[in-house]
Structure 1
Amino acid sequence: MPATDLDRPRWPDGKRSCFALAFDLDGPTGDAMLDGSIWNNPAYFTLGSYGPWRALGRLLGMLAERNVPATFFVPAWVLENWPTQCAAILEGGHEIGYHGYKHEAFWTLDRDAQRAVMERSAQVFDKYLGMRPVGFRTPSGDWGPDTIGVLMEAGVRYSSSMRGDDRPYFLPAQRGGTPLVEIPGRWEMDDYASLAYHRNPNFPASLDRIASYDTTLDNWRREFDGSHRDGLCLTTLFHPKVSGKPGRIALLESLLDHMHAKGDVWFSTCRDVAQWWHDEYAPMNPKEA
């Protein structure tokens, strides 16, 4: 079967492939914060707060050195508590997107509860940064039947939440509105899968708890190489508190250097990918092509 225009999409300036580096700056938000148990667990709180407090600055410095833009999906609670650090994201020319208020699982919330999270988040971004994001990544990796409508009501123009392709695609619009662009991620490009350490169970005999750094880097390179070969769009689900540590940031440096050496890659924020996809392909829905 001959390749179609959407099998090998067009990218700006004739670039062969697209790479949208993205981080979830979760901090200590999540289930333990939502149920209150984190306040009895200082070790877990500091593990999360390491992301915005310490790792974020290191990552921003590395990105500046390599002239690579990135998107940071930030729970609004993190912005409230580390406003200066989060402001540095925008000052560095990067993008900030929505990621819940305290990393809520949207699939467990009804329409009104999801609206409340988005409204509160928008107020926080407006108060501390004077802006409202246009992108969203769902916390906890899933959403409910009302989520797309809630996002559109909130002024969101794209999502990077689902897994339905290795190119952007369109999510259905309501009442003939402008469809959302989805920039799908992949678990293979989630640093939690290889590098996060969980003490449950605690130190099992003869079993490594963290993947080899060489293996992890090799996996990420291979994923990029395949995407680049086929002219696709690759994004990441990285977390500053996981991969922004001194030894691990070298993995990101090596990955970006590998991409630069390949050449012909469009390094972009998710926002710019979504805008490009909308401008180029909005008349045609890739899911129906």
Structure 2
Amino acid sequence: MEYNKWPGNRRSAVMFTFDLDGDTTWENGNRDLPNGGKYIKSLSIGQYGPKRCIDMILDKLDKYGVKATFFVPGVTAERYPEVVKRIDDAGHEIGHHGYAHERFAGKSTEEQIEIIEKSQEIFKKLIGREVTGFRTPSGDWAVDTPKLLYDRGFMYSSSMRGDDRPYRTVIDGSETDFIEIPTKWEVDDYVAMAYNMYPAEPAGQDRISCYKNVQDNFYREFEGHHKYGLCISYMFHPQVIGSPGRIQILEYLLKSIATREDVWVATGTEIADWFRDNN
């Protein structure tokens, strides 16, 4: 099936997403290290995202009239409630990203339900509603995760890697209305530009990728997706893309993509709803 016609007869779809992990990633990475709980410097890298980078990102999105999707762990929402409210008030979408950025793979059914429902309660109190989009932390989930989400009112996920088009998730042997909007490591700023000495990130302690090359890679991926009428989901992290230097990459993408009349830039819910109704 070809996906070269999107709303308004536009050729491709683009989803700008931000994983507002805060310090959860570094907390989890430190936990198994001797005295890891005392590594204040590495925690500050994650804290930089909600404290400083979010406002710069929101300014850029507003400049180009783009509504994005922010996947937020529950504990980050608890620690930075005003940040989450600002994102929501600006008309962006809030999505579920676990509670403490924990891996769903290996969790029991009961543990997953607790994580899902705990964060939903936080969102309900904070922004007045539960959320319906999900991204699994650290890129994997358990076999029963899609069913647990769908049974609890979730309408889409942006977690998998195996396609460049949305698709209906198969649950209990049948296609469902639970839509997957795949993303790719190739358009993840974290794998290209996140860096820390201890714990080592990346593990091999390679240098941070050249910003110009990362920008070129990200845009080439868009060009390829656009050529074939596909859907690209950029996966950014505020503490990475939101620094004064790297946010220029984001601005380049927004300026080059969001101003095109033949591109549909949308949130996860908008893409999932359209796909569900038209495919």
Normalising by structure 2, report the TM-score: 0.92
| Residue number in structure 1 paired with 2:79 | 81
Q: Residue 192 of structure 1 aligns with which residue?
A: 190
Separation of aligned partners in 1, 2:231 and 2:147 = 25
Counterpart in the other structure of 2:252: 254
Q: What is the rounded CA distance, in whole Å, between the counterparts of 1:172 and 1:9 in structure 2?
A: 23
Alignment partner of 1:32 is 2:30: no
**Could you tell me which residue of structure 2 aligns to residue 182 of structure 1?**
180
2:135 corresponds to which of 134, 137, 151? 137
Residue 21 (structure 1) aligns with: 16
Aligned residues: 273
Using the TM superposition, give the Cα deviation of residue 260 of structure 1 relative to its aligned residue in structure 2, in angstroms: 3.9
Answering whether residue 219 of structure 2 is matched by residue 221 of structure 1, we say yes
Report the aligned-residue RMSD: 2.1
Structure 1, unmatched stretches of 5+, are 1-5, 282-289
In structure 2, relative to structure 1, the CA distance for the partners of 1:115 and 1:214 (3 Å cut) is same
CA distance in 1, matches of 2:25, 2:208: 22
Q: Give the counterpart letter for 2:8 in structure 1.
A: D
Alignment of 1:236-255 (within 5 A): 236-255=234-253
Superimposed CA distance per residue, residues 3-52 of structure 1 (whole angstroms, 9 cap, x where no aligned partner): xxx32342111111100100100001137348486531111111111111
Amino acid at match of 2:186: E
**Unpaired stretches in structure 2, ≥5 consecutive residues:** none
Corresponding residue for residue 68 of structure 1: 66
Query: Matched residues in 1 for 2:15 and 2:5: separation?
Result: 15
Q: Deviations over 1:171-202 (max 9, x none)?
A: 02449794310000011100012111132697
Aligned-residue identity in percent: 42
Contact 2:134 2:159 in 1 (8 A): yes
The farther-off stretch of 255-264 and 223-232 is: 255-264
Distance 1:61 1:270 in 2: 20
Question: Distance between the aligned counterparts of 2:251 and 2:200, measured in 1?
Answer: 31
TM-score when scaled to structure 1?
Answer: 0.89
Map 1:80-229; keep pairs closer than 5 Å.
80-174=78-172, 178-199=176-197, 209-229=207-227
